[in-house]
């Protein structure tokens, strides 16, 4: 197989610093290595009050901290303000994935990322959220641009999936033996994934069970 040479990436408006919102280690692994290879100065911003329960939140966050430390990247551990998340999700408990609840969820995470960026001298924000093929990239980009423009920032909507990005995301996850989450994150996605599994006679999700490259699990994050 031909060796992949990473392209040199450049931030919008020739900016030099990036605040990268991260949702989890598997999604941010490829994004971080792509950014790192371009010599871009960046900081990880972990703000994901959607993740439920707290045990799962810590599992995902700790994996991300481990990888950030390995790369020597600053890691901002933001609030776990679940009360605000549940307040904003009211009435959208039965929305399907990619629907209105997810727009709210992305908006909320980008709004806090943009606020931190504006308060700390970052002119560009981005996120690892869009690399997952289970998500609607346009929906994520719309939320990112909306939050960034409210603070006079740029949202970097680089397509992390292209040129084999999705495959490298899995490769890196296996190499690093990242914790493999089995649902998007919120209590409603946990419920719906389990309902789907039950309807197919499959085993329900067990938190903290699967690790890439260790367990013989499917890799469809
Ligand atoms: S399914 Fe995922 S993106 Fe949608 S609300 Fe739940 S955690 Fe957020």
Q: In angstroms, what is the span from residue 28 Cα to ligand 1's centroid?
A: 17
The answer to whether residue 218 sits within a structural domain is no
Q: How far apart are CA 165 and CA 130, in angstroms?
A: 11
Taking phi over 0 as left and psi of -120 to 50 as alpha, with beta for the rest, 164 belongs to left
Residue to mutate, 110, 186, 187, ligand 1, most ligand atoms under 8 Å from C-beta: 186
pLDDT-based confidence at residue 216 (cuts at 50, 70, 90): low
**Of 102, 163, 169, which is closest to residue 131 (Cα–Cα)?**
169
Q: What are the tens digits of pLDDT across the range 3-13? A: 788 889 999 99
Q: What are the tens digits of pLDDT across the range 170-201? A: 999 999 999 999 999 999 999 999 999 999 99
**Residues near ligand 1 with C-beta < 6 Å?**
50, 97, 101-102, 105, 184-186, 188-189
Strand partners, 43: 19
Q: How far apart are CA 128 and CA 48, in angstroms?
A: 12
Position 218 scores a pLDDT of: 52
Contact 173, 132 (CB under 8 A): no
Q: How far apart are CA 33 and CA 18, in angstroms?
A: 14
Average pLDDT score over residue span 30-54: 97
| H or E element that contains 18 | strand 17-21
Residue range of the domain that includes 71: 14-199
CATH number at residue 52: 3.40.50.620
- Is a pLDDT exceeding 50 seen at residue 221? no
Residue numbers in the known binding site are 23-24, 102, 105
The answer to whether residue 213 sits within a structural domain is no
Q: How far apart are CA 37 and CA 173, in angstroms?
A: 17
The answer to whether residue 18 sits within a structural domain is yes
Average pLDDT score over residue span 128-139: 93
The answer to whether residue 173 sits within a structural domain is yes
Q: How many domains does the chain have?
A: 1
Position 4 scores a pLDDT of: 81
Q: Which atom of ligand 1 is nearest to the CA of 89?
A: 5
Q: What are the tens digits of pLDDT across the range 93-121? A: 999 999 999 999 999 999 999 999 999 99
Q: Which atom of ligand 1 is nearest to the CA of 189?
A: 1
DSSP 105-144: HHHHHHHHHHHHHHHTT--EEEESGGG-TTS-HHHHHHHH
Position 5 scores a pLDDT of: 87
Q: In angstroms, what is the span from residue 8 Cα to ligand 1's centroid?
A: 32
pLDDT-based confidence at residue 204 (cuts at 50, 70, 90): very high
The answer to whether residue 190 sits within a structural domain is yes
The answer to whether residue 3 sits within a structural domain is no
Q: In angstroms, what is the span from residue 106 Cα to ligand 1's centroid?
A: 8
To the nearest whole percent, how much of the chain has pLDDT over 70? 96
Average pLDDT score over residue span 74-91: 97
Render the burial of 33-48: b for 16+ CB within 10 Å, e for the rest.
Answer: ebbeeeebebbbbbbb
Q: Which atom of ligand 1 is nearest to the CA of 50?
A: 7
Q: Which atom of ligand 1 is nearest to the CA of 102?
A: 4
Cis omega (within 30 of 0) for bond into 152: no
């Amino acid at each position: 197989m031909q060796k992949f040479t990473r392209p040199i990436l450049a931030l919008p408006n020739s900016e030099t610093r990036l605040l990268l919102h991260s949702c989890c280690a598997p999604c941010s692994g490829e994004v971080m290595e792509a950014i790192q290879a371009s010599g871009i100065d960046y900081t990880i911003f972990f703000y994901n009050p959607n993740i439920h329960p707290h045990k799962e939140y810590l599992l995902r966050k700790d994996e991300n901290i481990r990888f950030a430390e390995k790369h020597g990247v600053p890691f901002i551990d933001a609030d776990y303000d679940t009360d605000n998340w549940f307040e904003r999700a009211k009435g959208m408990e039965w929305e399907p994935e990619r629907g209105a609840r997810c727009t709210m969820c992305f908006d909320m995470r980008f709004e806090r990322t943009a606020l931190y960026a504006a308060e700390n001298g970052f002119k560009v924000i981005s996120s690892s959220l869009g690399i997952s093929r289970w998500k609607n990239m346009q929906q994520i980009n719309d939320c990112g641009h909306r939050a960034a423009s409210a603070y006079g920032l740029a949202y970097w909507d680089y397509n992390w999936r292209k040129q084999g990005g999705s495959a490298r995301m899995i490769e890196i996850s296996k190499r690093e033996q990242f914790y493999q989450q089995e649902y998007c994150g919120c209590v409603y996605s946990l419920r719906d994934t389990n309902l789907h599994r039950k309807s197919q006679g499959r085993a329900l999700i067990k938190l903290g069970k699967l690790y890439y490259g260790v367990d013989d699990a499917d890799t469809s994050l």
